[in-house]
Chains A and B, each alone.
Chain A
Amino acid sequence: MRHVDYVAMSPGATRTLTLSLFLVLVAATLAITIWASRQTRNATDFYAGGRSFTGFQNGMAIGGDYMSAASFLGIAGIIALNGYDGFLYSIGFLVAWLLALLLVAELMRNSGRFTMSDVLAFRMRQVPVRTAGSISTIVVSIFYLLAQMVGAGALVALLFGIKSGTTFLGMSTDVAKVVTIVLIGILMIVYVVVGGMKGTTYVQIVKAFLLMIGAILLAFLVLMYYKFNLSSLLGDAAAKSGKAEAFLRPGLRYGKDIVGNPTATLVSKLDLISLGLALVLGTAGLPHILIRFYTVPNARVARKSVVWAIGIIGVFYLLTLALGFGAAALVGRTAIVAQDPGGNTAAPQLAQAVGSHYFGDFGGSLLLAIIAAVAFATILAVVAGLTLASSSSLAHDLYANVIKRGQTTERQEVVVARYSAFAIGAVAIVLGAFARNLNVAFLVAVAFAIAASANLPAILFSLFWRRFNTRGATIGIYAGLIAAVGVVLLSPICWGGVSKARPAATLTAAQAKTCGVAPTSKEVSNATALFSCTTAAPIPLENPGLISIPIGFIAAALGALSSREKNEDKYAELEVRSLTGAGAH
Chain B
Amino acid sequence: MSTDTPSVPPGTEETPSSQNRYVEVEKTAEFANLRRSFRRFVFPATAAFLIWYGLYVVLSAYARGFMDAKVVGHINVALVFGLLQFVSTFLIAWLYMRYASRNIDPLADQVRADVEGGEAK
Q: Hey, which bits of chain A sit against chain B, CB under 8 A?
A: 84, 87-88, 90-92, 94-95, 97-99, 101-103, 113, 118, 121-128, 229-232, 234-235, 238, 245, 248-251, 254-255, 257, 269, 272-273, 276-277, 280, 300, 303-304, 306-307, 310-311, 314, 317-318, 400-401, 406, 567-570, 572-573, 575-577, 579-583, 585
Contacts and interface: CB of A to CB of B under 8 A. Distances in A.
Query: 6 closest Cβ contacts across the A-B interface?
Result: A231-B73, A276-B57, A572-B26, A573-B22, A234-B74, A580-B112
Interface string B64-97: 1001100011111011001101100110111011
B6 A125 contact: yes
Interface in B1-26: 1, 4-7, 9-12, 14, 18-20, 22-23, 25-26
B6 to A, nearest CB: 5
B70 to A, nearest CB: 8
Contacts of A230: 75
B73 A248 contact: no
Contacts of B53: 91-92, 95, 276, 280
Contacts of B79: 84, 87, 234, 248
Given A98-B93, A572-B27, A573-B26, 5 more contacts: A255-B61, A406-B9, A570-B6, A577-B22, A582-B116
B75 A255 contact: no
Contacts of B67: 249-250
A310 B93 contact: yes
Query: Main SS of chain B's interface residues?
Result: helix
Nearest to A576: B22
B104 to A, nearest CB: 8
6 contacts: A98-B45, A98-B93, A272-B61, A300-B105, A307-B94, A317-B86
Contact of A102 (B42, B60, B62, B105): B42
A52 to B, nearest CB: 18
B61 A273 contact: yes
Contacts of A400: 10
A273 B105 contact: no
B19 to A, nearest CB: 6
B10 A406 contact: yes
Given A248-B74, A580-B115, A113 B23 contact: no
A121 B6 CA distance: 9
Nearest to B111: A580
B89 A310 contact: yes
Given A231-B73, A573-B23, A575-B26, A314 B86 contact: yes
A44 to B, nearest CB: 10
Contacts, number: 191
A467 B58 CA distance: 33
Given A95-B53, A572-B22, A234 B7 contact: no
Given A273-B61, A576-B26, A307 B86 contact: no
Contact of A124 (B6, B85, B94): B6
Nearest to A237: B74
B9 A121 contact: yes
B92 to A, nearest CB: 6
Contacts of B10: 400-401, 406
B38 A579 contact: yes
Most buried by A among B72, B79, B105: B79
B61 to A, nearest CB: 4
A84 B46 CA distance: 26
Contacts of B112: 580-582
B101 to A, nearest CB: 8
A125 B9 CA distance: 10
Given A94-B86, A567-B6, A581 B108 contact: yes
Contact of A272 (B35, B57, B68, B85): B57
A568 B27 CA distance: 12
A231 B72 contact: yes
Contacts of B50: 280
Contacts of B12: 113, 583, 585
Contacts of B75: 230-231, 234
Most buried by A among B1, B60, B67: B60
Contacts of B31: 575-576, 579
Contacts of A94: 85-86, 89
Nearest to B60: A250
B73 A95 contact: no
A263 B4 CA distance: 51
Contacts of B76: 245, 248-249
A580 B108 contact: yes
B96 A91 contact: no
B60 A582 contact: no
Q: Which of B6, B35, B115 has its CB near the most chain A CB atoms (within 10 A)?
A: B6
Contacts of B105: 300
Most chain B CB within a 10 A radius of its CB, from A127, A310, A401, A568: A310
A101 B25 contact: no
Interface in B26-59: 26-27, 31, 34-35, 38, 41-42, 45-46, 49-50, 53-54, 56-58
A582 to B, nearest CB: 4
Contacts of A572: 22-23, 26-27
A400 B9 CA distance: 10
A575 B35 contact: yes
Contacts of B116: 582
A113 B60 contact: no
A161 B20 CA distance: 66
Given A249-B64, A257-B64, A103 B97 contact: no
B108 A126 contact: no
Nearest to B104: A579
Contacts of B49: 95, 98
A573 B19 contact: yes
A251 B64 contact: yes
Contacts of A272: 57, 60-61
A97 B46 contact: no
Nearest to A306: B93
Contacts of B78: 84, 248-250
B9 A126 contact: yes
B32 to A, nearest CB: 10
Given A94-B85, A98-B92, A310-B90, A232 B73 contact: yes
